[in-house]
Chains A and B, each alone.
Chain A
Amino acid sequence: DTEVTQTPKHLVMGMTNKKSLKCEQHMGHRAMYWYKQKAKKPPELMFVYSYEKLSINESVPSRFSPECPNSSLLNLHLHALQPEDSALYLCASSQVRGSVNEKLFFGSGTQLSVL
């Protein structure tokens, strides 16, 4: 199984809603990532988990709350988002091998619209 599965594929939410994005992989990868991508722009790193511990938070607003409950699952909890947070949210995973960058495996993303 070489897939990263993201749900839901599409999400529309109001600014007062609370929602969660989910990501799952069964490749035994111990690093998992959240990226945000606006239209016609490159993906921008938000968070990195390594061995289920938050290793990188790229100064992301607290209305985005990541969670890694186990080595296969990654969640992104959303609360009080703004319309400018509308974007494609991509989850990825990779091996962790010392200081060598490994390739990332991406899910197909969640297209989020905040009204």
Chain B
Amino acid sequence: SQQGEEDPQALSIQEGENATMNCSYKTSINNLQWYRQNSGRGLVHLILIRSNEREKHSGRLRVTLDTSKKSSSLLITASRAADTASYFCATGENTGFQKLVFGTGTRLLVSP
């Protein structure tokens, strides 16, 4: 299975602190994506990083990718209570279309 492993499984922080989540995967990729899910509803795409990129920023999000270690991290800076959600990394096989497989996820709780 290509499913990624994420750690930690759960993370609890205070507002204003930074949150870091890590993702490891097993096979070669052409990109890695991060998604957010609130309260078991639909997932929202956050950021996509291609295999030839090492770092990418989007607002308060910073994603890194180390293809030699088959790992990625998602950093949320200056967290807010509204960031409380589950975060999943997702990787795809090179099948010609989008067979994304999701990692195990990190549940983030940001307390006011």
Which A residues between 1 and 31 are near B, CB-CB below 8 angstroms? 4, 31
Given A43-B43, A103-B48, A106-B43, the answer on whether A96 and B103 have CB atoms closer than 8 Å is no
Beyond A43-B88, A45-B100, list 6 extra A-B contacts (CB 8 Å): A37-B40, A90-B43, A100-B30, A103-B48, A109-B40, A111-B40
Residue of A nearest to B9 (CB): A40
Residues of B within 8 A of A (CB): 3, 30-31, 33, 35, 40-45, 48, 88, 92, 94-105, 107
A45 contacts B101, C-beta separation under 8 Å: yes
A64 in the interface (beta carbon within 8 A): no
Question: What is the number of contacts between chain A and chain B, taking CB atoms within 8 Å?
Answer: 72
A101 in the interface (beta carbon within 8 A): yes
Of A45, A99, A104, the contact of B96 (CB 8 Å cutoff): A99
B96 contacts A101, C-beta separation under 8 Å: no
Residues of A within 8 A of B (CB): 4, 31, 33, 37, 39-45, 48, 50, 55-56, 88, 90, 92, 94, 96, 98-109, 111
A108 contacts B100, C-beta separation under 8 Å: no
B98 contacts A104, C-beta separation under 8 Å: yes
Measured between beta carbons, the chain A residues less than 8 angstroms from B31 are 100-101
| A92 CA to B97 CA, complexed, in Å | 13
